[in-house]
């Protein structure tokens, strides 16, 4: 290129430099290490200290897990096997206790010949959840979802088949009343759909159940609540409380934002009272004080009482989470619903709640995870949870007296699987419902 041309056309290039590989420090693992672990002097010091801590942790844990024993009948036999194979000074995990007592952690003291009933209830639970959690599933399976709570109760507790049928009949009556009155007044239909089933359960359900049981005695072996324990107990309380607390929390959140003074006041008082009281206090109330408010001779199952209190506790927290989602919606969404001529219930069902619930997914799932872990607190009301009740029962036996870490690792792993699964599903649900590119 001539000098004259170079002076007159300074900013035009007529040739390109050949493509070259990026510097070694700007690509691959080296770049990742520089950006994430050694980006500055403070980050470098923390990385080195973290690696030292991980090294000392693994130096003790790896041999302990590597020397694990899975086939033994007692803790003494475990230690003898470890000493025989890896030397007298070796230490190792005795996971033989898990192999020997896994039924007790899973089923508590549920009769062994009836294990098929909680297993079948768990399988049917996934079938009932499929149309709710999995997109594209047939809506016909929603009938299974509606029937499952009554079928699951009957499988777990047994007894007369007519008790869950009579309880289900109350919901059917409420649905019929709602269909009959919704054309007259939506609010009146909702109130009647709540009051009529409650009256049915309080006044007519017990006589009808006794009459049907006497006329057609159908049922399976009954199992008392004190035979429940382990993860059967935790899943029963956790699944029931999660399923019931979400709709109740939505109702409380809407009630707190209502323009009706009485409804708003009652919702605020309930939420603030429940959130201000520890869960263990509510559990003691369910265990000790609730019977004082019932008619003499009334038998109210302890697990049912715990489910009610845990549900109320979780519903108060979920109500605040959903209220945050409702507050995050732009005012224009409510104005758009008014412009379309939708009434309150149509606007909430079609426009407001779908968006608010999408915003609230992380908080709702966090509440559910905390609720499932809090089922271990039922040990304070005499129920044998897997973490404390069953583990202490196993450690108190002569065969495994003195064992410590292995039971807690096993129980913690099971809890982690359930809680991690809920967390991953919530993230999948957020990605599927995302409608913007931000």
**Would the pLDDT of 9 be above 70?**
no
Q: Looking at per-residue confidence, does 312 or 9 come out higher? A: 312
Which of the listed ranges 82-96, 225-239, 277-291 does the model predict with the highest average pLDDT?
A: 225-239
Is the Cβ–Cβ distance between 356 and 329 less than 8 Å?
A: yes
Domains of the chain: which residue ranges? 36-97, 101-110+227-433, 159-220
- pLDDT tens digits, one per residue of 353-402: 888 888 888 899 999 999 999 999 988 888 888 988 899 888 888 888 88
Q: What is the pLDDT, as a whole number, of residue 437? A: 47
Mean pLDDT of 194-216: 86
Q: What is the pLDDT of residue 296?
A: 63
Higher pLDDT, 27 or 356: 356
Q: What 3-state class would DSSP assign to 21? A: coil
Contact 309, 289 (CB under 8 A): no
Indicate the SS3 state at residue 376.
helix
Which single residue is written with the structure tokens 């991953």? 424
89, two tokens: 């000074």
Distance CA 396, CA 390 (A): 10
**What is the model's pTM?**
0.84
Please report, for residues 26, 29, 65, the alpha-carbon distance to residue 23 in angstroms, rounded to integers and kept in the order given. Answer: 5, 12, 42
Whether residue 152 contacts residue 121, with contact meaning beta carbons closer than 8 Å, is answered with yes
Report residue 107's pLDDT band, with 50, 70 and 90 as the boundaries: very high
Contact 423, 365 (CB under 8 A): yes
Phi, psi (deg, nearest 5) at residue 342: -80, 140
User: Greater confidence, 106 or 138?
Assistant: 106
Query: Cα(210)–Cα(216) distance, rounded to whole angstroms?
Result: 10
Dihedral sign computed on CA atoms, order 67, 68, 73, 74: positive
Mapped onto helix, strand or coil, the DSSP state of residue 68 is coil
Report whether pLDDT(438) > 50: no
Separation of alpha carbons 264 and 267, rounded Å: 5
Q: Does the structure show a pLDDT above 80 at 436?
A: no
Out of 3.40.50.300, 1.10.3720.10, 2.30.42.10, 3.10.180.10, select the CATH number for domain 101-110+227-433.
Answer: 1.10.3720.10
| β-bridge mates for residue 384, sequence order | 229
* Range of weakest confidence among 40-54, 177-191, 420-434: 177-191
Out of 133-147, 182-196, 365-379, give the one with best mean pLDDT: 365-379
Phi, psi for 105 (deg, rounded to 5):
-70, -35
List all residues 6 or more positions away from 152 whose beta carbon is below 8 Å from its beta carbon: 121, 124, 125
**Tokens of residue 239, six digits:** 């699944």
Q: Which of 325, 314, 321 is nearest to 270 (CA)?
A: 314
- Computed from CA positions of residues 377, 365, 106, 158, in that sequence, does the dihedral angle turn out positive or negative? positive
Residue 414's pLDDT is what? 93
The span from the CA of 262 to the CA of 41, in Å, is: 60
Angle at 371 between CA 369 and CA 375, to 5 degrees: 120
């Amino acid at each position: 290129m001539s000098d004259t041309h170079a002076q007159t056309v300074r900013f035009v290039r007529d040739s390109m430099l050949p493509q070259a590989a990026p510097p070694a420090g700007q690509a691959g693992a080296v770049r990742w290490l520089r950006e994430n672990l050694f980006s500055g002097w403070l980050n470098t010091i923390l990385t080195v200290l973290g690696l030292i801590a991980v090294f000392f942790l693994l130096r003790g844990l790896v041999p302990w897990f590597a020397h694990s024993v899975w086939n033994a009948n007692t803790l003494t036999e475990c230690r003898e096997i470890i000493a025989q194979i890896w030397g007298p000074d070796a230490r190792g995990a005795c996971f033989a206790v898990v192999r020997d007592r896994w039924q007790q952690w899973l089923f508590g003291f549920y009769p062994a010949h009836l294990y098929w009933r909680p297993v079948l209830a768990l399988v049917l639970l996934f079938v009932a959840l499929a149309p709710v959690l999995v997109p594209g599933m047939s809506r016909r399976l929603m009938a299974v979802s509606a029937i499952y709570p009554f079928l699951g109760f009957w499988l777990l507790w047994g007894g007369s088949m007519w008790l869950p049928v009579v309880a289900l009949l109350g919901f059917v009556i409420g649905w019929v009343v709602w269909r009959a009155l919704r054309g007259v007044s939506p609010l009146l239909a909702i109130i009647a759909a709540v009051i009529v089933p409650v009256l049915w359960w309080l006044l007519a359900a017990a006589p009808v159940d006794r009459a049907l049981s006497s006329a057609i005695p159908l049922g399976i072996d009954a199992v008392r609540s004190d035979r429940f324990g382990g993860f059967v107990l935790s899943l029963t309380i956790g699944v029931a409380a999660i399923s019931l607390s979400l709709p109740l929390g939505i109702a409380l959140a809407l009630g707190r934002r209502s323009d009706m003074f009485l409804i708003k006041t009652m919702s605020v008082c309930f939420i603030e009272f429940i959130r201000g009281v520890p869960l263990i206090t509510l559990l003691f109330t369910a265990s000790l004080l609730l019977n004082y408010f019932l008619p003499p001779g009334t038998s109210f199952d302890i697990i049912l009482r715990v489910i009610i209190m845990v549900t109320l506790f979780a519903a108060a927290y979920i109500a605040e989470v959903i209220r945050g989602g409702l507050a995050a919606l732009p005012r224009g969404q409510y104005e758009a619903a008014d412009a379309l001529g939708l009434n309150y219930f149509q606007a909430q069902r079609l426009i407001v709640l779908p968006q608010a619930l999408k915003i609230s997914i992380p908080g709702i799932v966090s509440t559910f995870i905390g609720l499932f872990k809090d089922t271990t607190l039922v040990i304070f009301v005499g129920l044998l949870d897997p973490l404390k009740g069953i583990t202490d029962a196993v450690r108190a036996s002569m065969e495994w007296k003195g064992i410590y870490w292995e039971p807690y690792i096993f129980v913690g792993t099971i809890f982690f699987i359930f809680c991690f699964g809920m967390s991953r599903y919530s993230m999948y649900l957020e990605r599927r419902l995302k409608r913007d590119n931000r």
